[in-house]
Amino acid sequence: MTRDTTNPAALPRATTTTTTHAPAQQPPRPTSTNPLSKPRILCLHGGGTNARIFKAQCRVLSRVLDPWFRLVYAEAPFESQPGPDVLSVYADCGPFKRWLRWKPEHAAITDEDVVAAIDEALAEAMSEDDDAGATGEWVGLLGFSQGAKLAASLMFRQQVLLASPGGLAQGRDNNKNSTGTSIRPLLSPVEWKFAILHAGRAPLVNLLGEATFSSSLLSRPSQIGLADKPDDSGHHVPHDIMDVASGKHMLDLPTVHVHGLQDVGIHLHRDLLDTYCTPGSAVLVEWDGAHRMPLKAGDVQLVVDAMLAVAAETGAI
């Protein structure tokens, strides 16, 4: 059977739980009324925006989640042109930032320094929230677009490290930037319980380094574009058939994938779900919207219901 990549609706789907309407069961009771002790979710904005903009984009979602979670917004480390449609609403909210290269004009940087900068940005946001008096457990990641791609990649790095003899501490101790500095100087290892991926596209990014983990299905942190496409030098990089067969590129940890059915990139978002997430580990939420965060009450409730369910299942709440 030929896979029709021009029609997103024709793409094969992974075995997932699909949410199209709010479930009838009652939500779990909040674990704390103290805003400083609620479980915390680290939020990762899309490319070409920033933490301030993402907080505004999440305003309805955060309000509905407030009884259960404290949302903390991290700022990407690299300056960027504004993302699509950002200037129409947030022209005065720069500087705009990105987590990864997504245009040829973005300055080249080594894989090690990309990972170092990302980890330091995450550590800074988490440390600042600790300094503000927050004590809740860090339980989840929530990302939009490039931030969702990064969130899934962080979960994959965690999965690989947890399966290694040294665990998460090994990743902290062994990963250094090009100057030899530890990439996580401010942060004790965190074991994320789940990730919420809004419009996240394939492929996953290898944040471990080729010496630690290698797969032709993962892109490099310094790379522009998608896997199985020409790299920065114009050479075609096909998937290795043994990598595909091994399944070692698959993410097993719990994820919720939020797809806008009017998003022109939905085929890429479905590819992340279908190709990179183990069937049974992921929940799919679909809503009638484009490439943005949902704002209408009914759409937001779909996401909240799925988040609360995975949080309860993983012991986060």
Per annotation, catalytic residue among 45, 198, 249, 291: 291
The least confident of 43-47, 127-131, 162-166 is 162-166
Give one word for 198, left, alpha or beta, with left for phi > 0 and alpha for psi -120 to 50.
beta
Q: What whole-number percentage of the chain has pLDDT above 90?
A: 63
Over residues 175-197, the pLDDT tens digits come to: 554 444 444 433 557 999 999 99
To the query of whether residue 291 is one of the catalytic residues in this protein, the response is yes
Given 62, 145, 215, 222, which residue is catalytic? 145
- As a residue count, the chain comes to 317
Cα separation, 192 vs 90, whole angstroms: 31
Q: 86-99, pLDDT tens digit by residue?
A: 998 999 999 999 99
Distance CA 276, CA 279 (A): 9
Q: Is there a contact between 260 and 290 (Cβ–Cβ < 8 Å)?
A: yes
What SS3 string covers 35-60? CCCCCEEEEECCCCECHHHHHHHCHH
Question: What's this model's pTM, rounded to 2 decimal places?
Answer: 0.85
Which tens digits make up the pLDDT trace of 258-270? 999 999 999 999 9
Tens of pLDDT along 278-306? Answer: 989 999 999 999 999 999 999 999 999 99
Cα(160)–Cα(242) distance, rounded to whole angstroms?
Answer: 18
Residues paired with 137 in a beta bridge? none
CATH of domain 36-313: 3.40.50.1820
Please report how the helices 146-162 and 266-276 are oriented relative to each other, as an axis angle in degrees rounded to 10. Answer: 10
Given a cut of 70, is residue 308 above it in pLDDT? yes
Cα separation, 123 vs 133, in Å, equals 16
pLDDT for 1 beyond 90 = no
Of the candidates 263, 271, 274, 305, the residue annotated as catalytic is: 263
The set of residues, in sequence order, having a beta carbon less than 8 Å from that of 289 and lying 6+ positions away, is 260, 261, 262, 263, 299
Strand 40-44 with 70-74, pairing: parallel
